[in-house]
Amino acid sequence: MSAVTTSGRDQIVVALDAMGGDTAPQEQVKGALDASGPETKVLLVGDEPRVRAEVERQVGHVPPHIDFFHAPQTVSSHEAGATAVREKPDSSIAQVCRLVGQGEAHGAVSAGHTGAMLAAATLNMRRVPGVIRPAIAVVVPSARGPVVLLDAGASAEARAEYYPQFALMGRLFARDVLGIPEPTVGLLSIGEEELRGNEAVQAAHALLRDTPGFVGNVEGRDINAGLADVVVTDGFTGNVVLKALEGAASYLMTEVRAAVTRTTRARIGALLVRPALRGMRDKIDPEVYGGAYLLGVRGLCVITHGNASSEGLGNAVRLAAQGAREDLIGHFAAALGSERVPSA
Amino acid sequence: MSAVTTSGRDQIVVALDAMGGDTAPQEQVKGALDASGPETKVLLVGDEPRVRAEVERQVGHVPPHIDFFHAPQTVSSHEAGATAVREKPDSSIAQVCRLVGQGEAHGAVSAGHTGAMLAAATLNMRRVPGVIRPAIAVVVPSARGPVVLLDAGASAEARAEYYPQFALMGRLFARDVLGIPEPTVGLLSIGEEELRGNEAVQAAHALLRDTPGFVGNVEGRDINAGLADVVVTDGFTGNVVLKALEGAASYLMTEVRAAVTRTTRARIGALLVRPALRGMRDKIDPEVYGGAYLLGVRGLCVITHGNASSEGLGNAVRLAAQGAREDLIGHFAAALGSERVPSA
- Any A CB within 8 A of B246 CB: yes
Taking the model in full, what pTM does it have? 0.88
CATH code that applies to domain B1-131+296-344: 3.40.50.10950
Contact B270 A269 (CB under 8 A): yes
Residue B31 has pLDDT above 80, yes or no: yes
10 Å Cβ neighbour count for A258? 13
B80-90 exposure pattern, b = at least 16 Cβ within 10 A, e = fewer: bbbebbeebee
Check residue B32 and give its pLDDT.
96
- By Cβ distance, the residue of B141, B192, B272 closest to A81 is B192
Check residue B285 and give its pLDDT.
59
| Same-fold call for A1-127+296-327 versus A132-291 | yes
Among A86, A142, A224, pick the best mutation site for testing chain B contact (most B Cβ within 10 A): A224
Ordered by start, the domain boundaries in chain A are: 1-127+296-327, 132-291
Higher pLDDT, B7 or A155: A155
Dist CA B287 CA B306 (whole Å): 10
Dist CA A121 CA A329 (whole Å): 14
Check residue A23 and give its pLDDT.
83
Residue B6 has pLDDT above 50, yes or no: no
Residue B289 has pLDDT above 70, yes or no: no
CA-nearest residue to A155 within chain B is: B195
pLDDT (average), residues B99-113: 93
Dist CA A21 CA A303 (whole Å): 10
Check residue B22 and give its pLDDT.
84
Contact A255 B284 (CB under 8 A): yes
**Angle at the Cα of B187 (from B186 to B193), degrees rounded to 5?**
115
- Any A CB within 8 A of B341 CB: no
Contact B223 A143 (CB under 8 A): no
The residues of chain A scoring below 50 in pLDDT are 1-8, 194, 340-344
Interface of A with B in 77-96 (CB under 8 A): 80-82
Is the predicted ipTM greater than 0.90, yes or no? Answer: no
**pLDDT tens sequence across A178-226:** 999 999 999 999 875 545 678 889 999 999 998 999 999 999 999 999 9
pLDDT (average), residues B227-248: 94
- By Cβ distance, the residue of B80, B224, B274 closest to A251 is B224
Adjacency order of strands within the sheet including B147-150: B66-70, B40-46, B12-17, B107-110, B300-303, B292-295, B135-140, B147-150, B230-232, B185-188, B214-218
Q: State the count of interchain CB pairs (< 8 A) between A and B.
A: 256
- By Cβ distance, the residue of B154, B247, B270 closest to A224 is B247
- Any A CB within 8 A of B193 CB: yes
pLDDT (average), residues B185-206: 81
* Residues A1-127+296-327, CATH architecture: 3-Layer(aba) Sandwich (3.40)
Q: Is the Cβ–Cβ distance between A331 and A186 less than 8 Å?
A: no
Percent of chain B with pLDDT over 90: 58
- Any A CB within 8 A of B181 CB: no
Q: B324 φ, ψ to 5°?
A: -70, -45
Fold of the domain built from segment(s) A132-291: Isopropylmalate Dehydrogenase (3.40.718)
pLDDT (average), residues B244-257: 86
Q: Are strands A185-188 and A230-232 parallel, antiparallel or unpaired?
A: parallel
Q: Across all residues in chain B, what is the average pLDDT?
A: 87
Contact B224 A250 (CB under 8 A): yes
Provide the 8-state DSSP code for A13.
E
Interface of A with B in 252-311 (CB under 8 A): 252, 254-256, 259-260, 262-263, 265-266, 268-277, 280, 283-284
Contact A158 B198 (CB under 8 A): yes
Dist CA B14 CA A327 (whole Å): 63
Interface of B with A in 147-176 (CB under 8 A): 153-158
Collect all residues with Cβ–Cβ distance below 8 Å to A208 and sequence separation of at least 6. Answer: A163, A164, A167, A185, A187, A214, A232
What is the 3 state secondary structure string of chain B?
CCCCCCCCCCCEEEEEECCCCCCCCHHHHHHHHHHCECCEEEEEEECHHHHHHHHHHHHCCCCCCEEEEECCECCCCCCCHHHHHHHCCCEHHHHHHHHHHCCCCCEEEECCCHHHHHHHHHHHCCECCCCCCCEEEEEECCCCCCEEEECCCCCCCCCCCHHHHHHHHHHHHHHHCCCCCCCCEEEECCCCHHHCCCHHHHHHHHHHCCCCCEEEEECHHHHHHCCCCEEECCHHHHHHHHHHHHHHHHHHHHHHHHHCCCCHHHHHHHHHHHHHHCCHHHHHCHHHHCCEEEECECCEEEECCCCCCHHHHHHHHHHHHHHHHCCHHHHHHHHHHCCCCCCC
Contact B240 A220 (CB under 8 A): yes
Asked whether the CA dihedral B170, B172, B177, B181 is positive or negative, the reply is positive
Collect all residues with Cβ–Cβ distance below 8 Å to B264 and sequence separation of at least 6. Answer: none
Dist CA A335 CA A213 (whole Å): 14
Consecutive H or E run containing A59 = helix A48-59
- Residues making up chain B, counted from first to last: 344
Check residue A265 and give its pLDDT.
78
- By Cβ distance, the residue of A191, A224, A256 closest to B251 is A224
Interface of A with B in 2-61 (CB under 8 A): none
**pLDDT tens sequence across B61-75:** 999 999 999 999 999
Contact A256 B280 (CB under 8 A): yes
Poorest-pLDDT segment among A14-18, A158-162, B118-122, B271-275 = B271-275
Q: Which residues of B touch A188 (CB under 8 A)?
A: 240
- Any A CB within 8 A of B221 CB: yes
10 Å Cβ neighbour count for A181? 7
Check residue A195 and give its pLDDT.
52
Going by pLDDT thresholds of 50, 70 and 90, the confidence category of residue B195 is: low
- Residues making up chain A, counted from first to last: 344
Q: A47 φ, ψ to 5°?
A: -70, 100
Angstroms from B57 CA to nearest CA on chain A = 36
Q: Is the Cβ–Cβ distance between A316 and A308 less than 8 Å?
A: yes
Check residue A283 and give its pLDDT.
63
CA-nearest residue to A279 within chain B is: B259
Angstroms from A244 CA to nearest CA on chain B = 4
Check residue B2 and give its pLDDT.
40
Q: Which residues pair with B13 in a beta bridge?
A: B41
Which residue blocks in A182-294 are alpha helix, DSSP H? Answer: 199-208, 220-225, 235-260, 264-277, 280-284, 286-289
- By Cβ distance, the residue of A197, A235, A243 closest to B195 is A235
